[in-house]
């Protein structure tokens, strides 16, 4: 069994789908791993490190893909790379199907079995494979670090002979994995932290981290899968008023609100930005999905009304070494549990985790969300 690891070609993508550690584990399962040259450089992994772990270095993608039964990636490969994948091979990665529906036809054209790992059902058995959680954790951490770097003041309270420096106030919008990590990081830095989420269940988690929970009383707020759901118009109006009143007192806002398969909800209006103090910072982690603030510009840092807006669309890639390490472990757990048996490739097609992530198979789109 041959597994190919691709060099990511999307601009700004520094992660890689396998590390020397995961290569060793895959080799122990009986796999031959072929890594495209330079695939790990963005994550500080040299080709020689892969070779020492037992992998073969391929000069280019076409060579790496030759005869591979499994292809590992982080982001969706380009159409010309997909064309070089062997028929009936398995492509595994964060394929972003909502934003790349056109690639479904390419998977089917080349009879690729495509697995989108971000569609894993949110059940306990999937935790070790949960790429969204591992990457969002780092995104929440990095968001605070970037915000602090752009903020022109100290974060913790400091008492000096020359006077006292007041602690910074940080508001986190959305208390999912990224938001909770942002709260924890901001607290460690000494900020006064508050957080908002549409899900009442998030209150206990937020308060357990030492932050104040700001809420609009509501029923529900989350889907059966644990994701935030779109709320009523009445709720949205109350939410808007609450955020508007809160945001004017903040120094830093970390915005993380996403709804799977839909544009990011607008939480921070231009009018709210105008009310913020000069020198304040907003980090919009929803930039890739349109942003939680209309003033956010994807992959840019801009200043509007005296407020710095940071809109990096791929925050995990800014912590590439750890992001790749966690992602590679997620991928290995998915492979070893569901796809590779003692006699080689043995896909458990009827497993709910396989069915939940499988987009296309045998030239046909099979995922119920995209048929």
In the annotation, is 135 catalytic? no
Q: What are 165's strand-pairing partners?
A: 158
- CA 182 – CA 272 distance, rounded (Å): 21
DSSP 328-350: HHHHHHHIIIIIEETTEE---TT
Cα 164 to the center of its chain, rounded Å: 38
Mapped onto helix, strand or coil, the DSSP state of residue 289 is: helix
Residue tagged active-site, from 9, 122, 188, 318: 122
DSSP 8-state secondary structure symbol assigned to residue 204 = H
Residue 368 has φ and ψ, to the nearest 5°, of -60, -25
Q: Choosing from 109, 125, 127, 362, which is the catalytic residue?
A: 127
Residues contacting 97, CB < 8 A, separation 6+ = 103, 104, 116, 119, 359, 367, 369, 370
Distance of CA 136 to the CA centre of its chain: 5
Q: Is 227 a catalytic residue?
A: yes
Q: How far is it, in rounded angstroms, from Cα 371 to Cα 367?
A: 6
Q: Is residue 127 flagged as an active site residue? A: yes
The yes-or-no answer on residue 130 being catalytic is yes
The rounded distance, in Å, linking the Cα atoms of 344 and 2 is 10
**Which residue among the candidates 133, 194, 205, 255 is catalytic per the annotation?**
133
Catalytic residue among 49, 227, 235, 351: 227
Catalytic residue chosen out of the listed positions 43, 130, 142, 194 = 130
CA 267, CA 256: separation in Å to the nearest integer? 10
Instruction: Count H helices and E strands in the chain, helices first.
Output: 12, 19
**Is 257 within 8 Å of 292 (Cβ atoms)?**
yes
Q: Is the dihedral of CA 317, 321, 322, 328 positive or negative?
A: positive
Is the CB of residue 347 less than 8 Å from the CB of residue 339?
Answer: yes
Residue 194: phi and psi, rounded to 5, are: -130, 160
Tell me how long the chain is. Answer: 371
Active site residues: 122, 127, 130, 133, 227
């Amino acid at each position: 069994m041959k597994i190919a690891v691709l060099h990511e070609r999307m601009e700004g993508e520094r992660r890689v789908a396998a590390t020397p550690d995961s290569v060793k584990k895959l080799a122990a399962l009986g796999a031959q791993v072929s890594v495209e040259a330079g695939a790990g450089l963005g994550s500080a992994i040299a080709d020689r490190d892969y070779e020492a772990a037992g992998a073969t270095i391929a000069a280019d993608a076409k060579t790496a893909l030759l005869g591979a039964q499994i292809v590992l990636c982080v982001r969706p490969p380009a159409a010309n790379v997909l064309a070089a994948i062997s028929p009936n091979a398995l492509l595994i990665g964060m394929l972003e199907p909502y934003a790349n529906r056109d690639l479904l036809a390419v998977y089917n054209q080349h009879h690729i079995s495509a697995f989108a790992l971000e569609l894993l059902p949110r059940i306990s058995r999937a935790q070790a494979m949960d790429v969204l959680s591992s990457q969002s954790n780092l995104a929440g951490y990095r968001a605070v670090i970037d915000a602090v770097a752009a903020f022109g003041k100290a974060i913790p309270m400091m008492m000096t002979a020359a006077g006292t420096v007041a602690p910074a106030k940080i508001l986190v919008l959305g208390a999912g994995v990224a938001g909770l990590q942002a709260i924890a990081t901001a607290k460690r830095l000494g900020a006064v932290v508050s957080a908002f989420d549409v899900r009442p269940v998030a209150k206990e988690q937020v308060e357990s981290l030492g932050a104040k929970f700001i809420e609009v009383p509501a029923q529900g707020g989350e889907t059966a899968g644990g994701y935030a759901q779109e709320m009523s118009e009445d709720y949205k109006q109350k939410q808007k008023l609450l955020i508007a009143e809160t945001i004017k007192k903040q120094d830093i806002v970390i915005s993380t609100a996403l709804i799977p398969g839909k544009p990011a909800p607008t939480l921070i209006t231009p009018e709210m930005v105008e009310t913020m103090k000069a020198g304040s910072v907003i980090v919009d982690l929803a930039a890739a999905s349109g942003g939680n603030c209309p003033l956010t510009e994807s992959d840019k840092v801009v200043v509007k009304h005296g407020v710095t807006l940071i809109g990096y669309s791929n925050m995990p890639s800014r912590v590439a070494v750890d992001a790749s390490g966690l992602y590679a472990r997620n991928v290995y757990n998915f492979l070893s549990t569901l796809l590779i048996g003692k006699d080689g490739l043995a896909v458990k097609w009827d497993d709910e985790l396989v069915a939940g992530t499988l987009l296309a198979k045998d030239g046909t789109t099979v995922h119920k969300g995209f048929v």
